[in-house]
A = this chain, B = another copy of it.
Amino acid sequence: MRTIERLTSLGLLAWFCCLSAEPVQGGKVLVMPVDGSHWLSMKILVKELSLRGHEVVVLVPESSLLIQGSDSYRTEVFTVSYSQQELDANFNELRKGIFVPPKSTDFLLDIQRLIDFTNLQVRGCESLLHNEALMSRLRAEGFDVLLTDPFLPCGSVLAHLFSIPAVYFLRGLPCGLDLKANQCPTPLSYIPKFYSGNTPQMNFPQRVKNVFFSFVESYLCKLLYANFDYLASKYLEDGMTYKELISHGAVWLLRYDFTFEWPRPLMPNMVLIGGINCAKKGPLPAVVWRYTGVPPTDVPENVRLMKWLPQNDLLAHPKAQIFFTHGGTHGVYEGICNAVPMVMFPLFGDQGDNVHRMVARGVAEKLSMLEVTSETVVATIRKLINDKSYKQKMVQLSQIHLDRPLQPLDLAVFWTEFVMKHKGAAHLRVAAHDLNWIQYHSLDVLGFLSLVLITVLVLTLKCCWFCTRSCFRKRTEKRKSQ
């Protein structure tokens, strides 16, 4: 009983007050968005964070495409070293190849256009970094978290400079840099490379193609991210790469799930929020048609021409039977959410690969923008309507997509708030970040163990040989002496 007495005398069972969890009501969020369609879905999260009582500041370059002010968040406009015209020209250049028949050299031209585009964005970021007044005002605000799309580097650079955790909101990065930076295993044997045209079930030639594509990708990665590497190295740490910079992201909110993405390994800090853009549905007029040209005179009475229409509301209408889309991920998810089979015209960027996924799942047909005729359109429509499998598969996909324990928006808000509350998500960070390529694959260890094994083998053989020889020699000497 001595132990019990000692315990009670120590006051073991005395009152001990728990430290209480720090609340984040009224946290401060700095947002560095990427312009264009990227902003359209991020805006949903930004507005929701604001609605839930957080103070949100959105950084907007003075020349921008879609980012605008709002009542629900504050904007900080910063001057950039390029004009609106220059931006528009640059963006148009990026889309230029779409309506021109492709040549073999177009591939490199596309890469060059993308590099020119990101180069301009890097210049914009440098304008911000040199804006000392704004930078010190932002630093002084004491933000809890930085929300950004790492498709462009400025957000990550700011998070590093201000020492605040970053939450990434994206569909993915060219070259799969998001997966590489986050140490997410991506076996080439069953995860199709971007634009390889492969599905997860690959035969030997397809797997060879996949590996070959990964070599090409590694090379392109260096070209594509040279600008970003320069930015990280110049403004943060000498020699720091962009991959290293974004590897510090606390949580990755990824705009896909496994109705779109092929099944693959995930990391603990990867949160799937595919379909976040399928917002609540509104009522619609009877029949609508998007048409931006001069209205023709012979439009049938049951067709209504409109310049802009709420795509998701339209798809949600029970009479929507086929969705014509270029295959951007927002549209793809609106198609999946509303279970509408698709006729797809991929234009540029990730769209070709997005379309491939949907066609491979049997819920879409692909048409080329350059070769399309009213005959092929009609034939495709007939096919999608008469062959019920398209609709059946799409309904199945949609049911799986919509059957989730939590809405993507709630999940995105939860994890952003989690990072604010706990000042990051260190418990989800794998130790692989501290290893180089050789260490990660245990090549040094395997080399060492092989060396040990070989040494032991050689020594054993030498011993045996020595013993046999001396034994033989003794016998010979014995015989000789006899």
Contacts and interface: CB of A to CB of B under 8 A. Distances in A.
B263 A187 contact: no
A263 B268 contact: yes
B432 A13 contact: no
A189 B267 contact: no
Contacts of A405: 406, 410-411, 414-415
A6 B302 contact: no
Contacts of A202: 431
A439 to B, nearest CB: 6
Given A12-B385, A267-B265, A421-B403, A430 B6 contact: no
B268 A268 contact: no
A283 interface: no
A40 interface: no
Given A12-B321, A381-B12, A418-B403, A374 B6 contact: yes
A263 B431 CA distance: 8
Nearest to A262: B431
Contacts of A427: 258-259, 263, 400
A466 interface: no
Given A204-B444, A406-B405, A13 B287 contact: yes
Contact of A318 (B8, B18, B378, B446): B18
Interface string A274-302: 00000000000001010000001011101
A226 interface: no
A200 interface: yes
A100 interface: no
A431 B300 CA distance: 49
A318 B16 contact: yes
Contacts of A19: 391-392, 395
A246 to B, nearest CB: 18
A190 interface: yes
B432 A190 contact: yes
Contacts of A18: 318, 339, 395
A321 B268 contact: no
Contact of A21 (B207, B258, B403): B403
Contact of A4 (B13, B208, B299): B299
B268 A258 contact: yes
A136 interface: no
A303 B12 CA distance: 11
Given A13-B319, A208-B448, A1 B296 contact: yes
A442 interface: yes
Contacts of A432: 187, 189-190
Contacts of A415: 405
Contact of A439 (B3, B5, B207): B207
Interface string A61-97: 0000000000000000000000000000000000000
B16 A391 contact: yes
Nearest to A208: B445
Interface string A233-267: 00000000000000000000000001100111111
Given A6-B377, A265-B265, A400-B427, 9 more contacts: A8-B302, A10-B382, A12-B321, A16-B319, A17-B318, A21-B403, A189-B442, A207-B439, A406-B406
12 contacts: A3-B374, A4-B299, A5-B300, A7-B378, A18-B395, A185-B187, A185-B265, A187-B440, A190-B440, A204-B448, A207-B442, A405-B406
The 8 closest A-B CB pairs, nearest first, are A200-B431, A190-B431, A185-B185, A3-B374, A405-B414, A19-B395, A265-B265, A21-B399
Interface of A: 1-8, 10-19, 21, 184-185, 187-190, 200-202, 204, 207-208, 210-212, 258-259, 262-268, 287, 289, 296, 298-300, 302-303, 318-322, 339, 374, 377-378, 381-382, 385, 391-392, 395, 399-400, 402-403, 405-406, 410-411, 414-415, 418, 421-422, 427-432, 434-435, 439-442, 444-446, 448-449
